[in-house]
Amino acid sequence: MTEVITASTIIKRFGHKQVLRKLDFSVQQGEFVAFLGPNGAGKTTFLRILSSLSKPNYGIVKIAGFVLPTQAASVRQKLGVVSHQPLLYGDLSAEENLNFYAKLYGVIDRSERISQILKMVGLEKRRRDLVRTFSRGMQQRLAIGRSIIHDPEVLLLDEPHTGLDQDASNMLDEILTRVATQGRTVVMTSHDLPRVANLASRFDVLARGKIMGSIQASDLPKHGLLSFYESVINQNEVKNEI
């Protein structure tokens, strides 16, 4: 299988604080990687580096064959990003928001693609409603639609379940599963272990600025993801530090 994402010896500092310490990470095509870790472990920082929004102090990032930051525009064309903020304009309708991003990404059959996306995220009937009238769950579903409007190879999700209730989270999971099964490579950060346990094919635990543990979903121990996560965290005595 081809490696779609490769990050080697990534170092990121904010002032004197070193957030990422020679982090190495790679993802194969079609993998769904859940990036776990306690608060402050550097998950969001690392995802911002992968998405070209932030530059590492040291290290090389390669996505879909392009190197960051020199080929950032080519990388951005291959990426879809969902953060805990929806990145949508409240005073534009769902359709207008998608149309705006479709223009920026150079999508050719815009109206057809927008209809397809709205149907996929279950917002066809609300296509002309302003986004500010949407619930948090609806906004997050539309945010997923926005992120895949240009049919990206790689999808980066930064805690997409933040602020969602049980029903909205379940609906989001259904969409994410559908999106992932379309052959995309997905990297998602999360704190919600039971939820990601059913979604991802690989689990990486980030702590102290490094990946401290990694496991395939098929190799999970008897007591599941939680026991694996706790064993990694306890083994590295991360709890007391954070």
Partner 1 sequence: MKSKTSFFKALSAVVWKDLVAELRGKEMLSAMMVFALLVIFIFNFALELDPKTRNALTAGIIWVTLTFSGTLGLNRSMAVEKDRGCLDGLLLAPVDRTAIYFGKSIANWVFMLITAAILLPVYSILYNTNLFSWGLVLVILLGSEGYVAVGTLLSSMSIQARTRDILLPILLFPVIIPVLIAAVKATGGFLAGETFSSLTTWIYLLIGYDVIFTSVAFMVFDAVVEE
CA separation for the pair 74, 132 (Å, rounded) = 32
Using the rule CB under 8 A, which residue among 11, 28, 62, 89 binds partner 1? 89
Q: Is 20 in the site for partner 1 (CB under 8 A)?
A: no
Query: How far apart are CB 69 and partner 1 at their closest, in Å?
Result: 9
Give whichever of 90 and 221 is closer to partner 1, judged by the CB atom.
90
Which residue do the tokens 């879909």 mark? 64
Three-state SS letters, 10-45:
EEEEECCEEEEEEEEEEEECCCEEEEECCCCCCHHH
CA separation for the pair 226, 219 (Å, rounded) = 13
Residues between 208 and 227 that touch partner 1 (CB under 8 A): none
- Show the site string, 48-87: x = touches partner 1 by CB under 8 A, - = not: x--xxxxx-----------------xx-xx-x-x-x-xxx
Between the CA of residue 205 and those of 85, 94, 103, 197, what are the distances in Å?
Answer: 23, 35, 37, 13
Residues between 115 and 174 that touch partner 1 (CB under 8 A): 130, 146, 150-151
Based on its alpha-carbon atoms, the radius of gyration of the chain, rounded to whole angstroms, reads 18
Q: Is 107 in the site for partner 1 (CB under 8 A)?
A: yes
Q: Shortest CA distance to 46 belongs to which of 5, 16, 74, 78? A: 5
Give whichever of 94 and 225 is closer to partner 1, judged by the CB atom.
94
CA separation for the pair 190, 156 (Å, rounded) = 12
CA separation for the pair 41, 208 (Å, rounded) = 6
Give whichever of 188 and 207 is closer to partner 1, judged by the CB atom.
188
Using the rule CB under 8 A, which residue among 62, 105, 127, 162 binds partner 1? 105
Give whichever of 102 and 238 is closer to partner 1, judged by the CB atom.
102
Give residues in contact with partner 1 (CB under 8 A).
Answer: 48, 51-55, 73-74, 76-77, 79, 81, 83, 85-92, 96, 100-101, 103-109, 130, 146, 150-151
